[in-house]
Amino acid sequence: MNRVLVVDDEPAMRAALEANFTRHGWEVTTASGTREAMERFRSRPCPLVITDMRMPDGDGLRVMQNVRSLMPETAVIFLTAFGNVPEAVLAMQQGACDYLVKPVSFEQLRQAAHRVLHNAAPRPDGQPPAGGLVGHSAALQSLLEQARQVARSEADVLIVAESGTGKELLAQFIHRTSRRRNFPFVAVNCAAFPETLLESELFGHVRGAFTGAVTARPGKFELASGGTLLLDEISEMPSCLQPKLLRVLQEREVDRLGDTRPLRVDVRVIATTNRDLAALVEEGASEPTCFTGSMSCPSPCRRCARGGRIFPAWSSTLSRSTLRRGARCAWRTNFSSA
């Protein structure tokens, strides 16, 4: 059973999160502030802590520091009603797994909780774990070795595979094996947001950028600074946003909604899809140059039942030439280097 510690000074918020997580099979412990959170954590350590950012007796950063002094691998998600940009960036840089602005739907929070728990702690031998990629087949080990080579480069990555075959797990493995491992891994499902919200989610906005923007909010590119941004289901991104994404990939600059100055970002982008992007280009649904300059990792996968267990069986056609920084790859056919 998954366990979570919820820290919030608002009784209604604590009760709502406890009820929802319990309904979905979680074991929940609650605390009203930083001191109580430490007492609860000492008596019952949890792999996940969800904490408010600002509380009367301290802040969420203190909660994170305290619990990680006891259990360094603890995942921490921050909730805040303020949407303060420097505060959010500081939290991510200090090791927060995600940062959500209230009001937040429970489904969004639950997805974030499941996602961050997939990030396993480093093994005692110092080697990054393979996470949920379990198996000893030659094909899987070959794929992981190629992923390690990819991780040593700074190229952006496109992973193409069927649904349910572990694309996000592979993306997490690349992140944990790269020099960016100590910085945030931030994931965005491009299919989970309507067009108007996805732009703000990715690029952020300043106060007054649109009706209801009462505070500034950092985008996922900014929150992933120094680390890796996963764009899951990139094929579902609206075509009107693809030129803006292309600018970020080429210039490493983000234009926040309502801002007049671009923001420099240092982030590796990993995109995943289960669709035939070449066909989408032919239909005019995708921007053909969107991932020109990125490294392509086509990974058609299948599931194999062996002795009652499920193992992902991967095949990949990654060429050495794509490992160079800025290697060009074709958007169509098998996404091999051009």
| CATH code of 147's domain | 3.40.50.300
Q: What is the pLDDT of residues 223-269, one digit of tens each?
A: 888 889 999 998 888 888 888 888 888 889 998 888 878 889 999 99
pLDDT digits (tens, 9 = 90+) for 123-147: 444 444 455 566 667 777 778 888 8
Nearest Cα residue to 230 out of 67, 112, 91 = 112
Q: 95 and 177: one domain?
A: no
Residue 295 lies in a domain: yes
> pLDDT tens-digit profile of 4-24?
999 999 999 999 999 999 999
> What's the pLDDT score for residue 24?
92
pTM of the model: 0.60
Does 111 lie in the same domain as 53? yes
* 248 and 308, same domain (yes or no): yes
Could you report the per-residue pLDDT of 24-74, keeping only the tens digit for each?
A: 999 999 999 999 999 999 998 899 999 998 899 888 899 999 998 888 888
What's residue 168's pLDDT? 86
Range from 29-43, 190-204, 300-314 that averages highest in pLDDT: 29-43
Could you give the CA distance from residue 212 to residue 312 in angstroms, rounded to a whole number?
45
Per the structure, the complete domain to which residue 212 belongs is given by 138-323
In the predicted structure, residue 304 carries a pLDDT above the cut 60: no
Q: Say if 130 falls within a structural domain.
A: no
Output the pLDDT for position 312: 30
Tell me which of 324 and 302 has the higher pLDDT: 302
3-state secondary structure 130-148: CCCCCCCCHHHHHHHHHHH
Which of 117, 151, 184 finishes a domain? 117
Contact 188, 231 (CB under 8 A): yes
Residue 335: pLDDT over 80 = no
Q: Give me the CATH number covering residue 43.
A: 3.40.50.2300
Mean pLDDT for 160-187 is 85
Q: Does pLDDT of 310 surpass 60?
A: no
d(CA 266, CA 244) in angstroms, rounded, equals: 16
Same domain, yes or no: 220 and 257: yes
| DSSP summary character for residue 156 | -
pLDDT at 82: 65
Residue type, 237: M
Q: Which residue would you say has higher pLDDT here, 196 or 286?
A: 196
Q: What is the pLDDT of residue 302?
A: 41
pLDDT of residue 134: 62
* Pair 248, 176 in one domain: yes
Task: Tell me what the mean pLDDT of segment 101-127 comes to.
Answer: 70
Q: What is the mean pLDDT of residues 194-205?
A: 85
List Cα–Cα distances, 316 to 297, 300, 319, in angstroms. Answer: 7, 7, 9
What domain count does the chain have?
2
Q: Assess if residue 224 is contained within a domain.
A: yes
Report the phi/psi class of residue 126: left, alpha or beta, with left for phi > 0 and alpha for psi in -120 to 50: left
Let me know if residue 233 belongs to a domain.
Answer: yes
Residue 177 has pLDDT above 80, yes or no: yes
Residues 282 and 151 in one domain: yes
**Full strand arrangement of the beta sheet holding 3-7:** 27-31, 3-7, 48-52, 75-80, 98-101
Residue 329 covered by a domain: no
In a domain, 338, yes or no: no
User: Is there a single domain that holds both residue 298 and residue 199?
Assistant: yes
